[in-house]
Structure 1
Amino acid sequence: MDTEEQSARGGAGSRSYPCPACGAAVVFAPGSDAMHCPYCGHEQAVVAAAGREVREHGFDELAALPVAERSAPAGGTHTYVCPGCGAHTESDALSLRCQFCDTALVADASAAERVRPEAVLPFGLDRDAAREALRAWTSSRWFAPSRLKKVGEAETFRGSYLPHWTYDAQTLTHYRGQRGDYYYVTETYTTTENGETVTKTREVRRTRWSPASGTVGRAFDDVLVAGTTHVGNEQLDKLTPWPLEEARPFQAEYLAGFQTVRYDIEPEDGLVTAKERMATVIRSDCRADIGGDEQRVSSLDTHYSALTFKLMLLPVWFLTYLYAGTSWQVMVNARTAEVIGERPYSKVKIAAAVLCGLALAALITFLVMRR
């Protein structure tokens, strides 16, 4: 009997994980494969479900879903019944903590989602490690206010899993364009030297263009696209790369103790973005195939086959802090410790740097004039 079968409890369609030693709710311990009790310290391994593996899905599976289910929007709310205090909480998250007693609650993903998660990249950094990554980040920021370096010590991090789609595809692309090859010609010109007109020669580079066409193939694996609009794509892209090869088959235990955002971008819509990212790579392949010194690609005709997708959950530590009356947000990749975010600038430090620069320029000018 696995961990979920022997210890899960909660409201309809949701579960929590009671500690076998003291009865309190256990949570997933980042950087391990275990559930940890924050009260008595008991740990129990996350037991992999027999036969569970990460599976890719074909788009024909989406087409086969019942019409009512296909037309239902992603998201919606789920009612959690806390086994600790009995409170009822409605939320659109797949996992959260009870707002009254802090019990970790996890929804049944199979019942809540049109497409259930296939894989999860578990939290690898705990709060202390995320705080240390933030300290290193703030210390390296030029012109950061001195008080900014104390943010990591005082603020609270919030751990969340964010939904992402991954796409695999075999592509075959027929292209047309031009190949540019450099050649040099000798050019005669006149110039004035010492008041006299002289004739000189120089080598001038020209480009000879010729038609080019061909076919390139490319296999794409795990093209990553955010499945949520709650965080901007530009921000999430800065958290890459993710060690996707370290992902595990989805198990609800990994979510216990963290908030899990549900996807609100459908896999069909994510595919549009994935194809745009594939097109950038394909265009580069075409340029390499054309060869020469310069290339022009005028048309691409790409055929896709073996197109599959899956839903994956990726871990992020969030921190929103208040500085000088303004809210600033920072995100930490909970596997690689990559930190991105907004930060204030110290006007005093910038002004001091400008004054130092001006003083240095004046000193150099003075020394040069004395020679």
Structure 2
Amino acid sequence: MTDQDVAPAPGRAFQCEACGGVSEYAPGTYALRCPYCRHEQDITPIPRQVTEHPIEELAELPPRAAAPGGVKVFACPGCHAVTESDTLSDRCPFCATPLVTDASGTERVVPEAVLPFGVGREQARDALAKWAASRWFAPGELKKVTEAETFRGSYLPHWTYDAQTATRYTGERGEHYWVEEEDSEGRKRQVRHTRWHHTSGTVGRFFDDVLVPGSGQVPEEELDKLAPWPLEETVPYQEEYLAGFRTVRYDVEPEAGLESAKARMAPVIRADCKRDIGGDEQRVHSMSTLYSGLTFKLVLLPVWFLTYLHAGKAWPVMVNARTGEVIGKRPYSAVKIALASVGGALLIALTVLLVLTQRN
């Protein structure tokens, strides 16, 4: 079946029980809010817990119905338009109705948990304003960053992995000792040397919720800057939390994510090996790690995205929509830097002049 053969799936919209409008998730709450009459209705929790799935389940899953990154075709219940999207939730491009689609229809792995938006649009704007005001040598236009029209909230897919590890290592322990030596001029001094001893051993560690981005749409190193995420505050996945926000589908398969998770575990395990070796210095020559009790889950994390233009170039900013952490790239004002340089030079000149005056 090709993407063109996928039958339109009805996009779900949540009707306001007071006025009949379409409600959206209200950040920082466990409720849907109508943007027209402001009526709120509680989200009824589903009777289950967030579950960690054994890694062996992946072998039992069928291939993804639609290729990763492919489109979903769905029908808007508001204006009945049929559209294509590569998201699980978004707004209808014709009538702006907040739509959520059924993840089980096309996803090989459906979201297990969601970290709901805790920072609303206005709170995010405040965080951006503080961030913009704190940028040294930034152009004045940066202060208008909170007025950009591209400001939007999205859920990004992430994999989490748990594992019990046992690592056998070989290495060397270095122990310092001091020897009195005489230099070419006959002066004596203490010189440090290191005596190395071959060693080996086993270390173990349990890793909980090793986080790996499930989409390549945002560079991994940029997403890492938004950490830490309060994953203990995740709730079982419900479509209501997605209403009004864009939800990106994962395009990194869980098997590939596991390899990335192991790469993230490796430096921690190496540090454990060095601590186990002891001594004054350590060398790790080899590590062989066994993983047991491997589990995984797909979780959706909230981010506010903003892109602003300066000097013909787009500058992206992201806000952790749970903690308010802001990261982004910023331009520098050549004029402000030049003025600061001139000001610094004048200050130095004035200081020198005062010193000379006092001496005379």
Query: Is TM > 0.5 for Structure 1 vs Structure 2?
Result: yes
Question: Which residue of structure 1 aligns with residue 35 of structure 2?
Answer: 38
Structure 2 residue 140 is the aligned partner of structure 1 residue 146? yes
Relative to structure 1, the CA distance from residue 28 to residue 96 in structure 2 (aligned partners, 3 Å threshold; closer, same or farther) is: same
Question: Which residue of structure 2 aligns with residue 230 of structure 1?
Answer: 217
Question: Which residue of structure 2 aligns with residue 7 of structure 1?
Answer: none
More moved, 144-153 vs 132-141: 144-153
| Aligned partner letter, 2:83 | T
Is the Cα–Cα contact under 8 Å of residues 64 and 106 in structure 2 kept in the other structure?
A: no
Relative to structure 1, the CA distance from residue 327 to residue 177 in structure 2 (aligned partners, 3 Å threshold; closer, same or farther) is: same
Pairwise CA distance, 1:114 = 0.4
Q: Which among 47, 67, 74 is matched to residue 44 of structure 2? A: 47
Is the Cα–Cα contact under 8 Å of residues 13 and 111 in structure 1 kept in the other structure?
A: no
Is the Cα–Cα contact under 8 Å of residues 16 and 23 in structure 2 kept in the other structure?
A: yes
Question: Which residue of structure 1 aligns with residue 265 of structure 2?
Answer: 278
Deviations 1:62-91 (A, max 9, x none): 11123xx25853232222211221111110
Question: Which residue of structure 1 aligns with residue 325 of structure 2?
Answer: 338
Pairwise CA distance, 1:357 = 2.7
SS in 1 for 2:15: coil
Question: Which residue of structure 1 aligns with residue 173 of structure 2?
Answer: 179
Is the Cα–Cα contact under 8 Å of residues 11 and 76 in structure 2 kept in the other structure?
A: no
**Structure 1 outlier segments of 4+, above 6 Å:** none
Aligned partners of 2:110, 2:60: CA distance in 1, in Å?
15
Is the Cα–Cα contact under 8 Å of residues 74 and 114 in structure 1 kept in the other structure?
A: no
Is the Cα–Cα contact under 8 Å of residues 10 and 76 in structure 2 kept in the other structure?
A: no
Question: Which residue of structure 2 aligns with residue 6 of structure 1?
Answer: none
Relative to structure 1, the CA distance from residue 13 to residue 181 in structure 2 (aligned partners, 3 Å threshold; closer, same or farther) is: farther
Aligned partners of 1:324, 1:72: CA distance in 2, in Å?
40
SS in 1 for 2:146: helix
Q: Which among 317, 321, 330 is matched to residue 304 of structure 2? A: 317
Aligned partners of 2:83, 2:216: CA distance in 1, in Å?
23
Q: Which among 7, 10, 15 is matched to residue 12 of structure 2? A: 15
Is the Cα–Cα contact under 8 Å of residues 227 and 263 in structure 1 kept in the other structure?
A: yes
Identity %: 63
Question: Which residue of structure 1 aligns with residue 55 of structure 2?
Answer: 59
Pairwise CA distance, 1:364 = 4.7
Question: Which residue of structure 1 aligns with residue 5 of structure 2?
Answer: none
| Aligned partner letter, 1:109 | A
Is the Cα–Cα contact under 8 Å of residues 117 and 310 in structure 1 kept in the other structure?
A: yes
Aligned length: 351
- Matched ranges for 1:1-371 at <5 A: 12-50=9-47, 52-66=48-62, 69=63, 73-189=67-183, 199-365=186-352
| Aligned partner letter, 1:320 | T
Pairwise CA distance, 1:137 = 0.6
Aligned partners of 1:46, 1:285: CA distance in 2, in Å?
44
Aligned partners of 2:273, 2:232: CA distance in 1, in Å?
28
Aligned-residue CA RMSD (Å): 1.7
Aligned partners of 2:65, 2:275: CA distance in 1, in Å?
43
Unaligned runs of 5+ in 2: 1-7
| Aligned partner letter, 1:152 | T
SS in 1 for 2:9: coil
Pairwise CA distance, 1:289 = 0.5
Aligned partners of 2:254, 2:194: CA distance in 1, in Å?
45
Aligned partners of 2:237, 2:280: CA distance in 1, in Å?
48
Pairwise CA distance, 1:187 = 2.2
SS in 2 for 1:15: coil
Relative to structure 1, the CA distance from residue 360 to residue 188 in structure 2 (aligned partners, 3 Å threshold; closer, same or farther) is: farther
